[in-house]
Chain A
Amino acid sequence: MGQALIEIRHLSKSFQTKEAEITALNDIDLTIEGGDIFGIIGMSGAGKSTLVRCMNMLERPTQGTVLFDGKDLSGLGEQELRKVRRSMGMIFQQFNLLLQRTALENVCFPLEIAGMRQSDAKKRARELLDLVGLSDRAESYPTQLSGGQKQRVAIARALATDPKALLCDEATSALDPTTTQSILSLLRDINRRLGLTIVIITHEMSVVEKICNRVAIIDESRIAETGLVADIFTKPRTAAARKFVYPGAEGQAVSISKRCMRIVFNGTSSCEPVLAEMILACKAPVNILFADTKNLDGKAFGQMVIQLPEEKDLAQKMFRFIRAKGLDAEEADDYVG
Chain B
Amino acid sequence: MNTLCIRSGRVIDPSQNIDQIADLWIQGEKILGIGSNLAPNPDQIIDAKGMIITPGLIDMHVHLREPGREEDETIATGAHSAIVGGVTSVACMPNTEPAIDTQASAEFVILQAKRAGYANVFPIGAITKGREGKELAEIGGLVNGGAVAFTDDGSPVVSAEIMRRAMEYCKGFDKTVLSHSEDLDLTKGGVMNEGFESMRLGLRGLPAAAEEVMIYREIALAELTGAKVHILHVSTKGGVELIRQGKSRGVKASGEACPHHFTLTDKCLRTFDSNYKMSPPLRTQNDIDAILVGLKDNTLEVLATDHAPHAPEKKMRELDQAPNGIIGLETFLPICIQALIIPGVLTWKQMIEKMTINPAKVLGIDRGTLKPNAWADITIIDPDVEWTIDPNRFKSKSRNCPYAGWKVKGRAEKVFVAGVLKQDKSPL
Q: Do A and B come from one complex?
A: no
Residues on B facing A (Cβ under 8 Å): none
